[in-house]
C-alpha cells in the first residue's frame, strides 16, 4: 500500500528578510515596542501600518496572540461579567475561552453542513438570550454569507466581532474577511497564514474602539507612537477610564512578520492549489462528503475538511487509525474526548453548554487535516489516494476487528 512520509506540522522557513530584520532587533536589543532610539520607528508600529493597509482597515493593533485580540475586542466593546456572547458551536477552544476570560457567558449557535453558523438558530438564540455581541468564528476558513449575516445582526441589534484566525487573506464577494464586523481579530500563531510563533492583530474602523484597544493592550500613554491608531484627542477622552491588560506584540515578532504580508496572496494561491488537488482526488468517493464552497467565497485553504456521514464511532476511529498507519495525520472532531486541538463545545464545561443536535451530527463524522505549504501537489494527490482507499476499505468492512482494517500503534 502507498504511504506518505511528510510532516503535517512542518512550516515553511521564515523569509530571509524577516530573519535579517529579527537579527537587527536582537543586535540592538530594543525588543519592547516603545523602546526606540531617537528618530526610530518601531518595527511593531510599522507592522500595524502595513497590515492595516493590506486589509483596508483604518486602525490596527498588534498583540501577543489571537486569543488576546479576541479578549481585547470584547473588553473594548464593553462586554460585562455575566453578559451572554453568541459564538459558533464549531470553533476552537480559544474562542469561548476569550469570552469566559472576560467573565462573559458563551452562548453556542448551531453549525450547518458547510461548517458555517446557522442563521435560524442564531436569530433564535439572540432573541432568547438578548445577547448584543456575536463572536463569529470563521472556523477552518469557511465563510458564511457575510452580507446576509450582517443584515440579520443589524436587525437583531447584535454587534459582530470577526475571528479571522483562519481567513487572513480571504474575502466574501470581493470584500476582505474582517471588514464586515465592528472589529476583526487575527492570529499569527505558527499554523496560521503568517508565522511568528505567537501573535495577532486587532483591526477596526471605529476610532473609540481602536483607542480603547490600544490603551487596554498596555500603551502606558505612549499611544502617539502608533501609526495605525486614532488621533490623540480620541485617547484623551478615555485614557483614564480604560484599564491596562497588557498584551503587546514585541519588535522581534513584528520584524519576523513584516515581510510575510507581501507573501499572503501567493500563499493563498498555493494553499488553494493543494486544496483543489485534494478535492479532485476525493470527489465521488463513496461514503465521503466534501464541503461546498460558495462562488462568492475567496478562501485560504490552509486546512482541509470532509465528513463521513452516518459512520459509527468505531468505524471512524478505525479509519483515522488506518490513515495514520500510512503516514496521513487526521483529526476527528467527533472523538468522545478532546485530542490536541479537536475539542468541541460539549468539552468546555465552564461554558455550561446546552445540547446542539445539528452540530453533534455534523461533528460526529467531521475529519480535519492540516495542509502545510511544505507539501507539493504530488504530496496532496498521494494523501488523497490514501484517504480514498481507507474510506472505501474501512467503510465497506463488515468486521472492524479483522486484519483488513489495521489500527495504529
Residues 338-356 pLDDT 10s = 988 899 999 999 999 999 9
Reported as a pLDDT band with limits 50, 70 and 90, residue 299 is very high
Whether pLDDT at 357 is above 50: yes
- Tell me what pLDDT residue 403 has: 45
Alpha carbon distance 204, 224 (integer Å): 18
Give the model confidence (pLDDT) of 313-345 as tens digits.
999 999 999 999 999 999 999 999 998 889 999
List Cα–Cα distances, 398 to 389, 401, 402, 405, in angstroms. Answer: 16, 9, 9, 10
For the four alpha carbons of 75, 77, 78 and 81, in that order, the dihedral sign comes to negative
3-state secondary structure the chain: CCCCCCCCCCCCCCCHHHHHHHHHHHHHCCCCCCCCCCCCCCHHHHHHHHHHHHHCCCEEEEECCHHHHHHHHHHHCCCCCCCEEEEECCCCCHHHHHHHHCCCEEEEECECCCCCECHHHHHHHHHHHCCCEEEEECHHHCCCCHHHHHHHHHHHCCEEEEECCCCCCCEECCEECCCCCCEEEEECCCCCCCCCCCCEEEEECCHHHHHHHHHHHHCCCCHHHCCCCCCHHHHHHHCCCCCCCCCECCHHHHHHHHHHHCCHHHHHHHHHHHHHHHHHHHCCCCCCEECCCCCCEECCCCEEEEECCCCCHHHHHHHHHHHHHCCCCCEECCCCCCCCCCCCHHHCHHHCCCCCHHHHHHHHCEEEEECCCCCCHHHHHHHHHHHHHHHHHHHHCCCCCCCCCCCCC
Whether pLDDT at 408 is above 60: no
* pTM of the entire predicted model: 0.95
What is the phi/psi pair of residue 146, to 5°? -70, -35
- Tell me what pLDDT residue 398 has: 76
- Tell me what pLDDT residue 401 has: 62
Report the side by side order of strands in the sheet with 289-290: 289-290, 303-307, 366-370, 331-332
Neighbours of 1 (CB within 10 A): 11
Nearest to 298 by CA among 168, 179, 189: 168
Reported as a pLDDT band with limits 50, 70 and 90, residue 404 is very low
Whether pLDDT at 102 is above 60: yes
Give the model confidence (pLDDT) of 134-155 as tens digits.
999 999 999 999 999 999 999 9
Whether pLDDT at 29 is above 60: yes
Domains annotated on the chain, with CATH: 16-261 (3.40.640.10), 264-396 (3.90.1150.10)
**Mean pLDDT within 69-79:** 98
Nearest to 183 by CA among 55, 278, 273: 55
Residues 100-117, buried b or exposed e (16+ Cβ, 10 A)?
bbbebbbbbbbbbeebbb
Amino acid at each position: 500500500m502507498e504511504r506518505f512520509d511528510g510532516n503535517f506540522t512542518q512550516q515553511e522557513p521564515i523569509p530571509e528578510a524577516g530573519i535579517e530584520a529579527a537579527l537587527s532587533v536582537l543586535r540592538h536589543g530594543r525588543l519592547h515596542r516603545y523602546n526606540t532610539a531617537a528618530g526610530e520607528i518601531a518595527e511593531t508600529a510599522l507592522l500595524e501600518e502595513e497590515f492595516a493597509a493590506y486589509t483596508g482597515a483604518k486602525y490596527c493593533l498588534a498583540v501577543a496572540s489571537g486569543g488576546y485580540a479576541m479578549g481585547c475586542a470584547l473588553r473594548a466593546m464593553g462586554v460585562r461579567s455575566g453578559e451572554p456572547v453568541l459564538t459558533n458551536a464549531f470553533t476552537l477552544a480559544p474562542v469561548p475561552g476569550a469570552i469566559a476570560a472576560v467573565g462573559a457567558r458563551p452562548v453556542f449557535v448551531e453549525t450547518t453542513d458547510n461548517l458555517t453558523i446557522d442563521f435560524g438558530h442564531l436569530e433564535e438564540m439572540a432573541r432568547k438570550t438578548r445577547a448584543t455581541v456575536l463572536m463569529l468564528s470563521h472556523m477552518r476558513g469557511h465563510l458564511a454569507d457575510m452580507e446576509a449575516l450582517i443584515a440579520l445582526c443589524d436587525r437583531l441589534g447584535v454587534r459582530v466581532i470577526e475571528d479571522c484566525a483562519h481567513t487572513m487573506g480571504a474575502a466574501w464577494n470581493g470584500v476582505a474577511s474582517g471588514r464586515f464586523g465592528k472589529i476583526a481579530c487575527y492570529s499569527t500563531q505558527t499554523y496560521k497564514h503568517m508565522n511568528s510563533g505567537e501573535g495577532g492583530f486587532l483591526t477596526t474602523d471605529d476610532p473609540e474602539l481602536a483607542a480603547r484597544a490600544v490603551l487596554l493592550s498596555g500603551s502606558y500613554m505612549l499611544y502617539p507612537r502608533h501609526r495605525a491608531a486614532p488621533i490623540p484627542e480620541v485617547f484623551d477622552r478615555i485614557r483614564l477610564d480604560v484599564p491596562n491588560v497588557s498584551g503587546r506584540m514585541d519588535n522581534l515578532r513584528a520584524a519576523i512578520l513584516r515581510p510575510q504580508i507581501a507573501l499572503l496572496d501567493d500563499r493563498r494561491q498555493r494553499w488553494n492549489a493543494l486544496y483543489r488537488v485534494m478535492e479532485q482526488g476525493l470527489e465521488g468517493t463513496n461514503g465521503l462528503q466534501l464541503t461546498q464552497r460558495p462562488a462568492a467565497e475567496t478562501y485560504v485553504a490552509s486546512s482541509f475538511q470532509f465528513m463521513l456521514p452516518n459512520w459509527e464511532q468505531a468505524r471512524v476511529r478505525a479509519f483515522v487509525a488506518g490513515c495514520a498507519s500510512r503516514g496521513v495525520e487526521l483529526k476527528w472532531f467527533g472523538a468522545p474526548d478532546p485530542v490536541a486541538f479537536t475539542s468541541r463545545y460539549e468539552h468546555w464545561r465552564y461554558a455550561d453548554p446546552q445540547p446542539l443536535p445539528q452540530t453533534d451530527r455534523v461533528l460526529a463524522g467531521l475529519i480535519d487535516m492540516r495542509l502545510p505549504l511544505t507539501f507539493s501537489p504530488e504530496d496532496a494527490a498521494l494523501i488523497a489516494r490514501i484517504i480514498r482507499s481507507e474510506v472505501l476499505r474501512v467503510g465497506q468492512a463488515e468486521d472492524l476487528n479483522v486484519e483488513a482494517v489495521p489500527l495504529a500503534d
